[in-house]
Amino acid sequence: MSAAPIPTVLFVCVHNAGRSQMAAAFLTHLGRGRVQVRSAGSAPADAVNPAVVEALKEVGIDISAETPKVLTVDAVRESDVVITMGCGDACPYFPGKRYLDWQLDDPAGQGVAAVRPIRDRIEQLVRKLLGELGAGAAGS
């Protein structure tokens, strides 16, 4: 009997510098190889938000080497679950994919204190997603 295929999750926001980066980092960290993770933006920024990098560092996750990536049709096509976070209609739609829209405040221009509650909410949503995917979070 072969193992179930590893699900692929794509997180999308406008700049791929905050919310989608945090979500991808948490899913990578908590999923521990049980989920393939991607993130992208419809209009990527030049760099990841420094307050986001700092807020994740506080919980032991280092994304300082990450860079925003552009959203491609192939990234959507190759993903099982597409989670949008304020990218509007910029995300291509493919029948048969699971789409979720997470309503989260945008950390752009915010300091670490404002990013922490967004970070914590994203962690909760990612833990819930792992359970739904049958790839429960380690340590949960």
131 is catalytic: no
Catalytic residue among 9, 10, 12, 13: 13
Reference 123, options 8, 32, 28; nearest CA is: 28
Q: Which two tokens stand for residue 101?
A: 């829209």
Per the rule left: phi > 0, alpha: psi between -120 and 50, beta: everything else, 90 is alpha
Residues in the chain: 140
Catalytic residue among 17, 48, 87, 130: 87
119 is catalytic: no
Catalytic residue among 25, 91, 115, 130: 91
Reference 80, options 69, 96, 101; nearest CA is: 96
44 is catalytic: no
Q: What is the largest CA-CA distance in the chain?
A: 50
Catalytically active residues, by annotation:
13, 87, 91
